[in-house]
Structure 1
Amino acid sequence: MSHIDPRTPVLIGVGQIIDRLGEDGYEALSAVDLAARAAARAIDDAGGDPRSISERIDTVAGIRQFEITTPGAPVPLGRSNNFPRSVAGRIAARPARAILEVGGGQGPQHLITELAGDIAAGRSQVALAFGSEAISTTRALAAAPEKPDFGETIEGDLEDRGFGLKGLVSMEAANHGLVDAPSQYALLENARRARLGLSRAEYDAEIGRLFAPFTRVAAQNPFAAAPVERSAEELVTPTEANRPIADPYLRYVVSRDQVNQGAAVLIASVEAARELGVPEDRWVFVHGHADARERDLLDRADLSASPAARLAAGLALEMAGVAPDEVATWDFYSCFPVPVFNAAVDGLGLSPDDPRGLTLTGGLPFFGGAGNNYSMHAVAETVQRARRRPGSFGFVGANGGVMSKYSTAVYSTTPREWQADRSASIQAQIDTVEAVPQVSRARGWATIETYTVKHDRAGRKTGIVIGRLEKTGERFVAMGLEGDDEIVALLESEQPIGRRVWALSTGPGNRVTTSPERADAVRPPRAPALRDAYEHVRVERDGHLLIVTIDRPEARNALFPPAHEELSDVFDAFFADGDLWVAIITGAGEQAFCAGNDLVYSASGKPNYLPESGFAGLTSRRGMNKPVIAAVNGFAMGGGFETALAAHLVVADETAQFALSEVKVGLVAGAGGVVRLPRAIPEKVANELILTGRRIGAEEARQLGVVSRIAPAGGALEAAQALAAEILDGSPTSVRISLEVMNETRGIPDVVDAVTARTSAFDDLMSSFDAIEGITAFATKRRPQWKNQ
């Protein structure tokens, strides 16, 4: 010890706590109080003077609770505005730096590694990492008449690193039911079963064999949330208590998040540890460490494995200079079976019944999934075991996301100077693997790559598939067609992976069933046609003119999926009807044409999607070969402005206001605004409007070329009807073909190339009735009688 670098980091104290609901001694502690109690125990565990240690802490780092990991998640009992400094205040620490880590189960190990590196570099001397969850208390007391208030406001700087959800969540995945961890991990689990060629019964037995030893450890752990030993058979046998969650998972093998737990780890330099009087038998060194990030879920070449976890585990052991058979204790993050299978069994070749065990705590389904903080408990246990067996080695593997992020470390009481991070070498291996090509709108025959069936408490089943299109090999995600028991039966068969399915694109997203015929039977095709009535729009037919009115004045005509679907159907019918030649879209009432996306609905958590034709059934529509006029009365904000930009012509009353206001609410004008506006007006002006969300009036919009005509207040529809009448006076065939030629040549940059481009449109025109009628009527000095033929 005397020759070791004084800046070498050592773990000097660990602490854990549990506050079991309903048991003697239950205190209904908040997340802050749980973390503070664990931190105080870590300080006491160091063996020096607690007050002196608290005063020397220069850095505190907190793990995010679940309720502050998910954007918009409810916090029914309140929370601290500065979790790390709230905890610091409870233990009389006044750190210069406070960190709130990103979400993810890799966080505790990653933070410990980072803080140790800061100490080795001289940027810190004593650091405290901690985390906690009070989910069980929150759920139990949220509706209590005298519920506790966990809210507090603390002054002081905070390095809030954000949610850390980039690459882990997507609107496409959410719209296809992939919003919960069990269903996403089940996809990986089923892919692994197929790779190994195991039957359902054989794989269930493997899951039971893996997790039964975990229950035995949990049963002996005083900090475990569910200390009950269960047999392998019991874990995988469905019962009322052990209900199906997401095939192949039953409740007992799914991470337990209803816990009240906290843990903390205290780290210091060798120099500070000596100054604080921490006995050397409390010191534990980091011998190896690694962090790796896997490709995003749908980008991965192999959905049955995570090379990132295996590479990170291998690198940590290599840095420590130990082989797997030299490791005394293991703890693998175990939210579900597949992360343990991947890292321990497939990666390191360990056996589920290895006498050393694969967990020190009992694992997340049994010890408890303390939110993002589970691995802080694993490190605490590893430190204690290392002290009891001086010179032995303990391994911790921490998993985050959907086997997306992996942090590892090897610990021992044997002195070892700090080694700089070498993770870049393994990350480069991961990043060089090409992403799998994907498609958002899937159509045609496909092969199931992996799958799951979700079960709700009422017994309803929802199939989810990741597949590959046969024609292109592109990957897609889809749900089973609603009301289709055949696809559920296929997914519940012995081995669905590799089976053929029929994919179709619908408004809410991709759907799969067993055949095109089955798709037509479950979801009968409907010819485009106007209905007698709609819920969210009004439709008026006036000769060859169709007037479409968005009828949600109470919401300023803001749109949400059911309204988009109706508008998509209306415009499908318009473009299919040869007797309708011009359409006008406007808004009901005097306040707004369309205020854009219905943000109240978006905040509800319900599926928020656009039909294939886009916002208002127009912004992503191809082949718009009949004129659509936007009659803008009042506000055209966000998606409302994007709808106007998608129209061929815009008539606005003098009160109209236009804006791509998405930046004001943290969104992006993704329904075509960021694409169309810079093509419609000078680029620099478009940039200003997009980046500031600034509103422009009708006159400025006309000067920029966005608006064709301005009408008096309240006169937009009347002016649009007058403009439509002018168009209707000409040949509908000429109008249609003019639009087709403009669309065909829009992407040709050279003007002469565009003018001379080969097109069949002119041939169609010259052979049309309307062309002959127009010439004949001119020659005979009479009004032409157009037929749109």
Structure 2
Amino acid sequence: MTIYPDLDPRTPVIIGVGQVAERIDDPEYRGLSPVDLGVAAARAAVADAGAEPETLIAAIDTLATTRQFEDSVPGAPAPLGKSAKYPVSVARRLGAAPRRTILEVAGGQSPQHLVTEFARAIAAGESDVVLLAGAEAISTIRHLAAAETKPDFTDDPDGDYEDRGFGLAGLTSLEQAAHGLTTAPVQYALLENARRAARGESREKYDAAMGALFAPFTAVAAANPLSAAPQRRSAEELVTRTERNRPIADPYPRFLVARDQVNQAAAVLLTSVRTAERLGVDPARWVFLHGQADLRERPLLERAELGSAPSAVAAVEHALAVAGVSLSDIGFFDFYSCFPIAVSNITDAIGLSPDDPRGLTLTGGLPFFGGAGNNYSMHAIAEAVGRVRGAPGSRALVSANGGVLSKTSVGIYSTTPRALRPDDSAALQRAIDAAPAPEHVRHPSGWARIEAYTVQHTRSRRIGIVIGRLEDGGGRFLAQVAPGDDALPALLETAEQPVGLRVFVTALGYGNRVTGTEETAAELFPARTPGLRDDYEFLTVRREGHLLEITIDRPEVRNALHPPAHEELDEVFDAYFADPDLWVAIITGAGDKAFSAGNDLLYSTTGKPMYVPRNGFGGITTRRAMHKPVIAAVNGFAMGGGFEIALACHLVVVGADATFALSEVKVGLVAGAGGVIRLPRAIPRKLATELILTGRRIDAEEAALLGVVNRVAPAGGALAEARRLAAEIIVNSPTSVRLSLKLMEQTEGITDTVAAVAAPTDVVDELMFSQDATEGLTAFAAKRAPVWRNR
């Protein structure tokens, strides 16, 4: 007979929690791998349940784990190797045989999110005994990677598992990476400084508040035997810059930053009331989930205010409402504390003081207990379970955070029996997603005001990063302080309030750069006067009369392009379109093997910045106002970006040996330089879709049948045929050619034919008042060859 007859037997309960940790200076230090740490925590959770261990392990039907840092972003290093299937490795070494093994997305919210998800699964009868676990061995990996004899943490067990992916969509972008917004301290520092500005506080006052917030955390960490840094510090000590407490990213010194050099693991066991009884788990060990919420903030550059994250506050408030309690009913709190704003963003909004006698952390917090990667809040949940068990009827609130105040998962725990209540996070999320967002300008130019800022301190230099608003239109942008403007980073770190400071922003191919003055921008980034030169490194350029021939000269890599080559092509095309004496351009590739193999993938593995100019791949794929003809002369391969360049040209001439493909899908990429857009507009959509999705190659004959190319020449003869085509164009009025292209461009987006023909345009007026129009009519009447002036 059940101990709680009025309770649904499918009600989920936590029956066991476990934590383990080791420090490299511990006498019993073993150098455990992340898998071994996870298994140790799992065994501790099984032991904590008090049931027969082997019976309980055999009953586990679902095992879900958080991701290690070394598996949280693409290409992250694993110096000692890693498990290819972390949850399967944990299951095998534990001796469990779950029917489901899951690797959760990255983010500090994941432990609490998993508890909520599988509490629902248990209540719905989809799971019965669920083990959640995670571990980090970052300190051990760093310590042993330099050892003469290294352990090998590689493991590739048999068995399937559900990999939910990194879960980084909306959390990061190539734009952010290009501007140095890649590390958590830099990202949070931007928000912290925006918060200080919104509060109108001085640096001194705000620093003092951050110290006062975290000083009590250090006291908790000092008493926690699992802490990575068990040392009590004063508020003043936390914020005073010293050699040891060096600046990381303004306003953060090292002591205020989450500590990731840890070896820690935690695990949680959930099951149903019915199964807990069947396994013989003492009801005194049961802990119920009383309230929960999961919400997500808008992407960083889409937030209405940068100094706050209302979704995190809403998640806490909604979890309290689901639990049917108020803040005063909570006996224990753990707020995710990677940086001060992660705590204060919530506590200030809900009226919880930093010196509340209940405390704001159960572990000691991420900078002091340790930021055990995505798994930190599993430790917080384990501590919460212990606290409410020790004070039956009490409640603990855990708020877990992922991203840059991006994802918040909240749980409220108690030993008081209660069925799982539904939450309405989905409706709240719809309201958050529907909120208005400022315009995001990717290529800003002109005067602006700083909205948020930080200065990152690296070993070699200081890097200023700002989010700003353009004075013209108010669009929001991301930029770095221009190298060479040494005064601006110093000003950002010393001015009482840099937010609101007027700066000048310049958009460049590799990113946006701000300077203190327009004069400094002009000095550092002088406007390029369009013109051809004789010393290109990756191109050869030939000018003959009104014809310009551009040859990509990298045959050793099949004329693949890297940033320096892109820049040269961009410069040459600028010169071509600006020169009134150049009427037709041909672009081709050196040798007979390839027009261009596209992106230089080998160069991209060097770690050097990868970017294209603002005018796109090859300086052409996003170029506007291409009102003079460009002919692609294709011999051999035109693959990926090479095909995209050809598609961006007005005309394409090929040798019989030409081969085209949008092959990006074969290397895990997409044809994002216009291929997936231009090809369906050039050939039947279904055929284009096939080529895009398969990466299938087409030869010159098929390309001609599809209408991708204009002319097919004998093998190796593309350039000669392109010259003949150019000559056929050059004999005509360059003004007529130019304005014909302009009119085609102006009406391209008008689908109705009559509407396109009738659309207002300045082309006819410009043509009829041109010298070439008069010359053409005059020459025709005089029965002589016209002399064109291109004006």
Q: TM-score range by the shorter chain?
A: over 0.9
- Please report how far the alpha carbon of residue 708 of structure 1 lies from its aligned counterpart in structure 2 after TM superposition: 1.1
1:151 equivalent among 151, 154, 164: 154
- Partner SS state of residue 304, structure 2: coil
- Please report how far the alpha carbon of residue 584 of structure 1 lies from its aligned counterpart in structure 2 after TM superposition: 1.0
CA distance in 2, matches of 1:159, 1:347: 38
Residue of structure 2 equivalent to 1:260: 263
Superposition CA RMSD, Å: 1.7
CA distance in 1, matches of 2:373, 2:299: 21
Residue of structure 2 equivalent to 1:135: 138
CA distance in 2, matches of 1:747, 1:281: 70
- Please report how far the alpha carbon of residue 595 of structure 1 lies from its aligned counterpart in structure 2 after TM superposition: 1.1
Residue of structure 2 equivalent to 1:379: 381
Residue of structure 1 equivalent to 2:34: 31
Residue of structure 2 equivalent to 1:417: 419
Is 1:22 the equivalent of 2:25? yes
For the 8 Å contact 1:133–1:370, the answer to whether it is kept is: yes
Alignment of 1:111-126 (within 5 A): 111-126=114-129
- Partner SS state of residue 189, structure 1: helix
Label 1:302 to 1:383 Cα distance change in 2 as closer, same or farther (>3 A): same
CA distance in 1, matches of 2:243, 2:556: 46
CA distance in 2, matches of 1:50, 1:639: 58
CA distance in 1, matches of 2:464, 2:300: 18
Residue of structure 2 equivalent to 1:618: 620
CA distance in 2, matches of 1:556, 1:611: 21
Alignment of 1:160-171 (within 5 A): 160-171=163-174
Letter in 1 for 2:159: G
Residue of structure 2 equivalent to 1:767: 769
- Please report how far the alpha carbon of residue 23 of structure 1 lies from its aligned counterpart in structure 2 after TM superposition: 2.7
Is 1:10 the equivalent of 2:13? yes
1:628 equivalent among 618, 627, 630: 630
2:345 equivalent among 339, 342, 346: 342
CA distance in 2, matches of 1:155, 1:508: 44
1:94 equivalent among 79, 94, 97: 97
- Please report how far the alpha carbon of residue 769 of structure 1 lies from its aligned counterpart in structure 2 after TM superposition: 3.2
Letter in 2 for 1:486: A
- Please report how far the alpha carbon of residue 264 of structure 1 lies from its aligned counterpart in structure 2 after TM superposition: 0.6
- Partner SS state of residue 589, structure 1: coil
Residue of structure 2 equivalent to 1:393: 395
The range that moved more, 329-338 or 735-744, is: 735-744
Label 1:755 to 1:137 Cα distance change in 2 as closer, same or farther (>3 A): same
1:324 equivalent among 322, 327, 335: 327
Letter in 2 for 1:414: T
CA distance in 2, matches of 1:137, 1:534: 49
Alignment of 1:416-565 (within 5 A): 416-458=418-460, 460-492=461-493, 493-565=495-567
Letter in 2 for 1:162: G
For the 8 Å contact 2:485–2:516, the answer to whether it is kept is: no
For the 8 Å contact 1:448–1:498, the answer to whether it is kept is: yes
- Partner SS state of residue 286, structure 1: strand
Letter in 2 for 1:68: D
The range that moved more, 751-760 or 261-270, is: 751-760
Letter in 1 for 2:217: F
Residue of structure 2 equivalent to 1:737: 739
- Please report how far the alpha carbon of residue 151 of structure 1 lies from its aligned counterpart in structure 2 after TM superposition: 1.2
Label 1:584 to 1:108 Cα distance change in 2 as closer, same or farther (>3 A): same
Residue of structure 2 equivalent to 1:596: 598
- Please report how far the alpha carbon of residue 255 of structure 1 lies from its aligned counterpart in structure 2 after TM superposition: 0.9
- Partner SS state of residue 228, structure 2: coil
- Please report how far the alpha carbon of residue 756 of structure 1 lies from its aligned counterpart in structure 2 after TM superposition: 4.2
- Please report how far the alpha carbon of residue 420 of structure 1 lies from its aligned counterpart in structure 2 after TM superposition: 2.4
What's the CA shift string for 1:86-137, capped at 9, x where partnerless? 1122222111111111110000011111122222222222111000011112
CA distance in 2, matches of 1:152, 1:447: 51
Alignment of 1:678-689 (within 5 A): 678-689=680-691
The range that moved more, 656-665 or 725-734, is: 725-734
Letter in 1 for 2:767: L
- Partner SS state of residue 588, structure 2: strand
Letter in 2 for 1:464: I
Label 1:256 to 1:120 Cα distance change in 2 as closer, same or farther (>3 A): same
Letter in 2 for 1:303: L
CA distance in 2, matches of 1:350, 1:686: 58
What's the CA shift string for 1:148-196, capped at 9, x where partnerless? 1111122223121111111111111111211111111111111111111
The range that moved more, 742-751 or 679-688, is: 742-751
- Partner SS state of residue 291, structure 1: strand
Residue of structure 1 equivalent to 2:365: 363
Residue of structure 1 equivalent to 2:709: 707
- Please report how far the alpha carbon of residue 656 of structure 1 lies from its aligned counterpart in structure 2 after TM superposition: 0.7
Letter in 1 for 2:38: A
- Please report how far the alpha carbon of residue 142 of structure 1 lies from its aligned counterpart in structure 2 after TM superposition: 2.6
Residue of structure 2 equivalent to 1:69: 72
- Partner SS state of residue 730, structure 1: coil
What's the CA shift string for 1:406-434, capped at 9, x where partnerless? 11111112222221233223223322312
Is 1:284 the equivalent of 2:291? no
- Please report how far the alpha carbon of residue 377 of structure 1 lies from its aligned counterpart in structure 2 after TM superposition: 0.5
For the 8 Å contact 2:296–2:406, the answer to whether it is kept is: yes
- Please report how far the alpha carbon of residue 765 of structure 1 lies from its aligned counterpart in structure 2 after TM superposition: 2.9
What's the CA shift string for 1:483-525, capped at 9, x where partnerless? 1123324423211112222222111122222332221122222
For the 8 Å contact 2:504–2:516, the answer to whether it is kept is: yes
For the 8 Å contact 1:57–1:126, the answer to whether it is kept is: yes
Is 1:58 the equivalent of 2:71? no
CA distance in 1, matches of 2:315, 2:127: 26
CA distance in 2, matches of 1:760, 1:159: 59
- Please report how far the alpha carbon of residue 779 of structure 1 lies from its aligned counterpart in structure 2 after TM superposition: 4.1
Query: Percent identity over the alignment?
Result: 63
The range that moved more, 333-342 or 133-142, is: 133-142
- Partner SS state of residue 331, structure 1: strand
The range that moved more, 34-43 or 412-421, is: 412-421
For the 8 Å contact 1:590–1:633, the answer to whether it is kept is: yes
- Please report how far the alpha carbon of residue 605 of structure 1 lies from its aligned counterpart in structure 2 after TM superposition: 4.4
- Partner SS state of residue 105, structure 1: coil
What's the CA shift string for 1:564-607, capped at 9, x where partnerless? 11111111011111222211111122221111122233344443
The range that moved more, 319-328 or 161-170, is: 319-328
For the 8 Å contact 1:126–1:268, the answer to whether it is kept is: yes
Gaps of 5+ in 2: none
Letter in 2 for 1:333: Y
- Partner SS state of residue 739, structure 2: helix
Label 1:325 to 1:590 Cα distance change in 2 as closer, same or farther (>3 A): same
CA distance in 2, matches of 1:524, 1:124: 64
- Please report how far the alpha carbon of residue 295 of structure 1 lies from its aligned counterpart in structure 2 after TM superposition: 1.2
Residue of structure 2 equivalent to 1:231: 234
1:585 equivalent among 584, 587, 605: 587
Residue of structure 2 equivalent to 1:200: 203
Residue of structure 2 equivalent to 1:717: 719
The range that moved more, 389-398 or 266-275, is: 266-275
What's the CA shift string for 1:334-367, capped at 9, x where partnerless? 11111100112x2321111222211111111111
- Partner SS state of residue 582, structure 2: coil
For the 8 Å contact 1:174–1:607, the answer to whether it is kept is: no
Label 1:343 to 1:737 Cα distance change in 2 as closer, same or farther (>3 A): same
For the 8 Å contact 2:322–2:423, the answer to whether it is kept is: no
- Please report how far the alpha carbon of residue 373 of structure 1 lies from its aligned counterpart in structure 2 after TM superposition: 0.1
1:220 equivalent among 217, 220, 223: 223
TM-score (norm: length of structure 2): 0.97
Gaps of 5+ in 1: none
